[in-house]
Amino acid sequence: MDVLSAELISCGESRKFNEELAETFDSWRDGVLSAGPQASLVKKNQQLDPSSEVSRRICLSIKEKLLTNPLVQAFSIPRRIHSMMLSKYEPGDGYGWHVDNPFTSYGRRDLSFTVFLSDPDAYEGGRLEIQGIQSSESYRPSMGDVVVYSSASIHRVTTVEEGVRYACVGWIESYVKSAEDRQLLFSLNAGAKALLAKYGRSDELDLVFQAYTNAMRRLSS
């Protein structure tokens, strides 16, 4: 499955974002407004007005961290990160099984991401579930962690039963459109860097990095 779960934001900064969102009362909108015809039938949450000062500042900070995180970079090979939104799920809210639209006016949606801004002990439910061929994987990571996954996958947010779940969601247009090609490049890059760390530079390893670079050149669009 084309999924990455990684630390992105410190607990302290995540807690600060969480507190700011909890103190924002007048800029939340019905999440259905940003959903397509099919997804709107199963979506129940609130999203912060993207033009608000709080939304712009938090989303910009998270975007900068995504663009400088080595794991996210290697996994997604981002051309652009776009359409970021801050969401709030209260008791009874959830987002049923759906697939994201393939593109927006801001770019193609190759990968989706969710940054979990709430402490998992502060709410019940609210799991991100991603459907595979035979089973689904469930994610409810630590505060500040990001889950990046294929936008082509069917996924949902289970109903929040207690507390409030804050998150930042958005999409990545990758230089490499194919999920299979991205996984190949990710494995090649990870293996080469591990060999470099263990054994140091060598002429043979230079050839591996050359192969990775030229594969990236061939597979990018």
* pLDDT tens, per residue, the chain with 221 residues: 689 999 999 999 999 999 999 999 889 999 998 888 888 899 999 999 999 999 999 999 999 999 999 999 999 999 999 999 999 999 999 999 999 999 888 999 999 999 999 999 999 999 999 998 888 999 999 999 999 999 999 999 999 999 999 999 999 999 999 999 999 999 999 999 999 999 999 999 999 999 999 999 999 98
* pTM reported for the whole predicted model: 0.95
Widest Cα–Cα separation across the chain: 60
Q: What pLDDT shows up at residue 37? A: 85
**CATH code of the domain covering residue 23:** 2.60.120.620
Q: Sheet with 145-150: list strands edge to edge.
A: 3-7, 145-150, 111-116, 165-174, 78-89, 46-48, 28-30
Q: How far apart are CA 83 and CA 117, in angstroms?
A: 18
Q: Are residues 131 and 39 in the same domain?
A: yes
Q: Are residues 185 and 151 in the same domain?
A: no
The boundaries of the domain holding residue 125 are 3-174
φ, ψ at 193 (rounded to 5°)? -70, -35
Q: Are residues 189 and 158 in the same domain?
A: no
| Residue 56 burial class via C-beta count within 10 angstroms: exposed 0-12, middle 13-18, buried 19 and up | middle
Q: What pLDDT shows up at residue 1? A: 61
Between helices 203-219 and 179-199, what is the axis angle to 10°?
Answer: 160
Q: Are residues 75 and 92 in the same domain?
A: yes
Kind plus residue range of the DSSP H or E element containing 220: none
φ, ψ at 162 (rounded to 5°)? -155, 145
Q: Are residues 66 and 12 in the same domain?
A: yes
| Cβ atoms 92, 159 nearer than 8 A | yes
Q: Are residues 85 and 154 in the same domain?
A: yes
Q: How many domains does the chain have?
A: 2
Q: How far apart are CA 12 and CA 15, in angstroms?
A: 5
| Cβ atoms 27, 55 nearer than 8 A | yes
Q: Are residues 82 and 156 in the same domain?
A: yes
Gyration radius from the chain CA atoms:
18
Q: Are residues 16 and 95 in the same domain?
A: yes
Residues 6+ apart with CB under 8 A from 84: 50, 59, 62, 63, 168, 169, 170
Q: Are residues 160 and 212 in the same domain?
A: no
